Amino acid sequence: MGVLAAAVILFIAFGSLVAMGLPIVTALMAILGGLALTNLSGYLVPAPDFTVVFAALIGLGVGIDYALFIVTRYKDNLQNSDDPESATVNAITTAGHAVLFAGTTVVIAMLGLVTVGQRLMTGVAVGASATVLVTMIAAVTLLPAFLGFIGHGINSLRLPRRTSRWRASTGGPAPTRRAAAERWACTVQRRPLVTVVLACAVLLVLAAPTLSMRLSPARRRVQPHDRSSCNSYTILSEGFGPGYGAPLIFATKAGSKDALGAVVEAVSATEGIAFVTTPQVGKDGPPPTPWVHVYSWTSPNPEAYCTWTWPLYARTT
């Protein structure tokens, strides 16, 4: 559906089937190479099964976008009476630089997920970055080769436009009219301060819900109900309580057995706590750190956890 929607939008924008197909074909071929590189990197950095879908979606978006930059500049150069070779060179030396800069920025941003410190996100970051890297390289290597084969045929299979109907009816050129993007750019440049204030206000309104956002581990309701992981979670929750699937690790600095026993009793007596495991001693140190697993009666969501984590902290400090 995404490819079909992109094809319709590009066909309306370019008015040509050939110009519409170039960004899509380039993006799809780059995605194939990117997914192959993602699978190879999986031998070094294990990745979850959704990495392929995630990388394909990102690669499709940036691949079409990067090819769109270059094709648009190529068409503009042809309209300025450049020959196909000069138009391709000018498109790569101008829009191609923007593509390289944008692609490198996306790769660096995706690799920033490595700093989270979770191997799951590391595999996703490496896979998505590899796909973006391949699409960026394809936009400045494979696409110019396509343009060299097509030449002036970039405007073949055109969509009938009002300019063609005007020329057919009057025999003269159609009156020039500024594009909507040009009119909008002129409006912004005439009142830059007002535009900045309005844009910041809209962004703040859109970002306001993040103030009440609560983060939590993935739960059953975010998984497909036909998966075994969802079914197993449901069975364990029904048999041992909703908090069995997400225990908390409670560490303490208690040095003696008596002090450790008092801490375990205080944790067990806290309202909302269902079960506390036998204390274990970590190997990191010195000194070694005792810890226990704490299971609650409530499901693993931040609202429920807050009802007993703060009283637990107050009882044991």
pLDDT tens for each residue of 131-151: 999 999 999 999 999 888 888
Confidence check: pLDDT of 251 > 80:
no
More confident residue, 172 or 85: 85
CB atoms within 10 A of CB 191: 11
Question: Poorest-confidence range of 39-48, 67-76, 217-226?
Answer: 217-226
Mean pLDDT of 262-272: 77
pLDDT recorded at residue 308: 62
pTM over 0.75: no
Mean pLDDT of 142-167: 72
Question: Poorest-confidence range of 169-173, 182-186, 216-220, 265-269?
Answer: 169-173
pLDDT recorded at residue 239: 76
Residue 241 CA, chain-centre distance (Å), reads 35
Confidence check: pLDDT of 110 > 80:
yes
pLDDT recorded at residue 43: 84
Q: What is the rounded CA–CA span in Å between residue 66 and residue 184? A: 23
DSSP 169-234: HHSSPPPP---HHHHHHHHHHHSHHHHHHHHHHHHHHHHGGGGG-------GGGS-TTSHHHHHHH
Under a CB-based contact definition with an 8 Å cutoff, are residues 247 and 295 in contact?
Answer: yes
What Rg value do the Cα atoms of the chain yield, rounded? 29
Confidence check: pLDDT of 162 > 50:
no
Q: Give the residues across from 154 on adjacent strands.
A: none
Question: Poorest-confidence range of 87-96, 189-198, 240-249?
Answer: 240-249
Tokens (6 digits) for 174: 């159609």
pLDDT recorded at residue 103: 92
Under a CB-based contact definition with an 8 Å cutoff, are residues 169 and 31 in contact?
Answer: no
Q: Give the residues across from 158 on adjacent strands.
A: 16
The CATH number for 2-172, chosen from 1.20.1640.10, 3.30.200.20, 3.90.180.10, 3.10.20.30, is 1.20.1640.10
Domain 240-316 annotated CATH 3.30.70: yes
Most confident of 28-37, 79-88, 223-232: 28-37
Outline which parts of the chain fall under CATH 1.20.1640.10. 2-172
Q: What is the rounded CA–CA span in Å between residue 130 and residue 110? A: 10
Mean pLDDT of 113-122: 82
- Residue 67 CA: distances (Å) to CA of 63, 83, 114, 188, 307: 6, 20, 28, 27, 52
Mean pLDDT of 53-76: 88
Q: What is the rounded CA–CA span in Å between residue 113 and residue 107? A: 11
pLDDT tens for each residue of 200-245: 999 999 999 988 877 665 665 566 777 777 777 778 777 777 777 7
Under a CB-based contact definition with an 8 Å cutoff, are residues 132 and 107 in contact?
Answer: yes
Under a CB-based contact definition with an 8 Å cutoff, are residues 59 and 30 in contact?
Answer: yes
Q: Give the residues across from 25 on adjacent strands.
A: none
Q: What is the rounded CA–CA span in Å between residue 164 and residue 32? A: 39
pLDDT band at 256 (very low <50, low <70, confident <90, very high): low
Tokens (6 digits) for 167: 């020329």
Under a CB-based contact definition with an 8 Å cutoff, are residues 71 and 143 in contact?
Answer: yes
- Residue 16 CA: distances (Å) to CA of 9, 11, 75, 91: 11, 6, 11, 19
Outline which parts of the chain fall under CATH 3.30.70. 240-316
pLDDT recorded at residue 166: 42
Average pLDDT, the chain: 79
Q: Give the residues across from 16 on adjacent strands.
A: 158
Confidence check: pLDDT of 273 > 80:
no
Q: What is the rounded CA–CA span in Å between residue 86 and residue 82? A: 6
The 8-class DSSP code of residue 144 comes to H
pLDDT recorded at residue 172: 52
pLDDT recorded at residue 305: 62
Mean pLDDT of 47-54: 86
More confident residue, 295 or 138: 138
Q: What is the rounded CA–CA span in Å between residue 301 and residue 49? A: 25
Mean pLDDT of 76-96: 87
